[in-house]
């Protein structure tokens, strides 16, 4: 699928090993600190697709699918899939080629898209650099296909970042020489074949900033599906430049501003409010950026704060703000893991509860986003306009007249007192009936043209025109 087709999607990120087992177990132990395979597979995902779909997500992103080294390293097993050894085999821990095809088919049968993670930057080696046995790598079975060893240790030096090796002596990420034309050709053919063999709709590009931009330009055209790149950097101009080479990038700058705001009840809206203009003018298309507050490399939001109201605001913001929302499995269950590997909890241990407050919130908010963008696809490229800001609260409007969603996000937390906000510039005229989709309460725009928002327990709010909401079965229970 193209970037255009992905714009309206919302993505649920799973680590294949940690999301669902083929035996549908909800009790199988998975101690994250053991860094072992816990038994999740592609067949397991198939069995739980309704859990994802019923939460309103229209795409999944899975772990890398290629064969990883079979050994146990000092950092444990490659259960996350980022330590590949063979491009042309699949990771048998996740299933067979037929299983992956079945996943793709099952996803498509539910009108969802399949995004897989790929990591062309490196091959994995469970030991120090000087012990690397290149003959085990396929197809790059010789040192000549790789950069010679030097550690990535100077992030201010882009040559060091691109040509040296990530990892360390416990697990080296042996850095492929992606400037070599032979390598480029192999990768471009590989990705074309992979996409057609498994009917893949999109790619999450690992370690994008560790590979040259010129490599990505040709790779993007060979792939010919939407590519969403990981550029792990807070700097706007640094990150945005990658969008001149790949369709989309995960919005790390925004991530840091959201955490400044919603990471604690003493946070501030300042970074978001003051930097958003720069992001919009620097990046090619913010509607193709991945908006997230959690992933498998970062401390979960609930690790930073156990305030449920902040978790709700973080999740609502992710889905209601600009960009393609990306929610990491477990976020909807208020999982609270800290740094890798603690943030890679097995989703099955939640019992896939659909009664959790965050599951229900994600479902409600995804529903209104999906509906607004169905009624008017231009909703997606309408940059949210801040209609109210103070240090702890923002309100924004997204979408053109009669199809806008007006949201309020705050970091006051669940212990805060009730208060009332009166919002101008919602775009709704006097007398318009609007519904708040999380409480399902209807209200009418007052004679002064304002939307009066009762704020309670630090919860987020999201309004949509009431008549349209009922046409879309929003708040229909």
Residue 20, judged by CB atoms within 10 A of its CB (0-12, 13-18, 19+), counts as buried
Name the E strands within 8-125.
Answer: 11-13, 59-62, 66-68, 84-90, 113-118, 122-125
Catalytic residue positions, numbered? 206, 230
List CB contacts of 191: < 8 A, sequence separation 6 or more.
118, 203, 219, 222, 223
Which residues, numbered 241-280, are part of the site for ligand ABC (CB under 6 A)?
Answer: none
Q: According to the binding rule CB under 6 A, does residue 303 interact with ligand ABC?
A: no
Nearer to ligand ABC, 139 or 338 (CB): 338
User: Coil, strand, or helix at residue 464?
Assistant: strand
- Nearest-10 Cα torsion for 308, 311, 312, 317: 160
Contact with ligand ABC (CB under 6 A) among 36, 180, 260, 340? 340
Rounded (5°) CA angle 25-26-27: 95
How near is the Cβ of 382 to ligand ABC at its closest, in Å?
A: 28
233 binds ligand ABC per the rule CB under 6 A: yes
Question: Measured between alpha carbons, how far is 176 from 161 in angstroms, rounded to an integer?
Answer: 13
Q: Which stretch binds ligand ABC (CB under 6 A): 26-34, 87-95, 232-240, 316-324?
A: 232-240
Our finding on whether 206 is near ligand ABC (CB under 6 A) is yes
Work out which of 234, 285, 376, 402 binds ligand ABC, going by CB under 6 A: 234
The binding track of 80-109 with respect to ligand ABC, each residue x by CB under 6 A or -, is x-x---------------------------
Residues 115 to 144: which contact ligand ABC by CB under 6 A? 119
Residues present in the chain in total: 477
Size of the site for ligand ABC (CB under 6 A): 19
Q: Dig out the tokens for 253 from the structure.
A: 């700058």
Residue 167 sits in the site that holds ligand ABC (CB under 6 A): yes
Single out the segment in contact with ligand ABC by CB under 6 A; choices: 229-237, 241-249, 317-325, 463-471: 229-237
Q: Cβ of residue 225: shortest distance to ligand ABC, in angstroms?
A: 20
3-class secondary structure, 139: coil
Q: How is the beta sheet containing 122-125 ordered, strand by strand?
A: 122-125, 172-175, 166-167
Is residue 297 a contact point for ligand ABC (CB under 6 A)? yes
Check binding of 149 to ligand ABC (CB under 6 A). no
Candidate residues 25, 53, 75, 139; the one interacting with ligand ABC per rule CB under 6 A: 75
Please say which residue, 328 or 463, places its beta carbon nearer to ligand ABC.
328
Which is nearer to ligand ABC, 59 or 309 (by Cβ)?
A: 59
What is the DSSP code (8-state) at residue 450? P
- The Cα 467–Cα 473 span in angstroms is 10
Four-CA torsion 204, 208, 213, 215, nearest 10 degrees: -70
Distance CA 132, CA 464 (A): 58
Residue 204 as a binder of ligand ABC (CB under 6 A): the answer is no
Instruction: Return the DSSP state at 467.
Output: H
- Work out which of 22, 28, 36, 232 binds ligand ABC, going by CB under 6 A: 232
Among the listed residues 24, 92, 141, 155, the single contact to ligand ABC using CB under 6 A: 155
Beta pairing, strands 66-68 & 84-90 = antiparallel
Of 165-173, 192-200, 330-338, 353-361, the window that binds ligand ABC (rule: CB under 6 A) is 165-173
Binding status of residue 178 toward ligand ABC by CB under 6 A: no
Distance of CA 87 to the CA centre of its chain: 24
**Between 5 and 278, whose beta carbon lies closer to ligand ABC?**
278
According to CB under 6 A, which one of 40, 337, 341, 427 is a site residue for ligand ABC?
A: 341
Contacts of 452 (CB under 8 A, 6+ apart): 420, 421, 422, 423, 443, 446
Q: Which residue has the tokens 């659909």?
A: 354
**Residue number with CB closer to ligand ABC (262 or 309):** 262
Backbone φ and ψ of 166, nearest 5° = -80, 175
Is position 413 an interface residue for ligand ABC (rule: CB under 6 A)? no
Residues that bind ligand ABC (CB under 6 A): 75, 80, 82, 119, 155, 167, 171, 173, 206-207, 230, 232-235, 296-297, 340-341
């Amino acid at each position: 699928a193209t970037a255009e087709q992905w714009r309206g999607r919302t993505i649920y990120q799973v680590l294949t090993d940690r999301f669902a087992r083929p035996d549908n177990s909800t009790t199988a132990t998975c101690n994250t600190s053991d860094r072992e395979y816990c038994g999740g597979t592609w067949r397991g995902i198939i069995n739980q697709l309704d859990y994802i779909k019923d939460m309103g997500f229209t795409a999944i992103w899975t772990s890398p699918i290629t064969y990883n080294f079979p050994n146990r390293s000092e950092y444990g097993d490659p259960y996350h899939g980022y330590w590949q050894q063979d491009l042309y085999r699949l990771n048998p821990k996740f299933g067979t080629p037929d299983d992956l095809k079945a996943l793709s088919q099952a996803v498509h049968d539910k009108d969802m898209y399949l995004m897989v993670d790929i990591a062309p930057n490196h091959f994995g080696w469970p030991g120090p650099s000087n012990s690397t046995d290149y003959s085990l790598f396929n197809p790059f079975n010789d040192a000549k296909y790789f950069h010679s060893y030097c550690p990535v240790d100077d992030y201010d030096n882009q040559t060091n970042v691109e040509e040296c090796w990530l990892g360390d002596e416990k697990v080296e990420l042996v850095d492929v020489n992606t400037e070599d034309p032979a390598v480029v050709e192999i990768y471009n053919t590989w990705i074309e074949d992979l996409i057609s063999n498994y009917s893949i709709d999109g790619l999450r590009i690992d370690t994008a900033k560790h590979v040259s931009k010129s490599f990505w330009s040709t790779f993007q055209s060979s792939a010919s599906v939407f590519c969403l790149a990981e550029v792990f950097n807070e700097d706007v101009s640094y990150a945005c430049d990658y969008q001149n080479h790949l369709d989309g990038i995960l919005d790390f700058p925004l991530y840091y501003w959201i955490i400044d705001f919603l990471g604690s009840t003493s946070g501030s809206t300042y970074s978001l409010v003051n930097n958003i203009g720069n992001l919009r003018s620097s990046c090619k298309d913010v509607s193709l950026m991945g908006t997230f507050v959690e992933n498998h490399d970062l401390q979960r939001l609930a690790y930073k704060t156990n305030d449920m109201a902040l978790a709700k605001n973080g999740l609502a913001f992710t889905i209601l703000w600009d960009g393609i929302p990306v929610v990491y499995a477990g976020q909807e269950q208020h999982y609270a893991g800290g740094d890798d590997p603690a943030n890679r909890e097995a989703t099955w241990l939640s019992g896939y509860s659909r009664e959790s407050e965050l599951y229900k919130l994600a479902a409600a908010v995804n529903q209104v986003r999906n509906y607004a963008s169905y009624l008017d696809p231009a909703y997606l490229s309408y940059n949210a306009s801040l209609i109210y800001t103070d240090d702890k609260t923002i309100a924004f409007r997204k979408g053109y007249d009669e199809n806008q969603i007006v949201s309020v996000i705050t970091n006051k937390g669940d212990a805060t007192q009730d208060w009332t906000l009166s919002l101008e510039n919602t775009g709704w005229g006097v007398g318009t009936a609007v519904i708040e989709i999380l409480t399902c309460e209807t209200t009418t725009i007052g004679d002064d043209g304002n939307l009066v928002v009762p704020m309670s327990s630090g919860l987020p709010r999201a309004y949509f025109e009431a008549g349209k909401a009922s046409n879309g079965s929003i708040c229909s229970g």
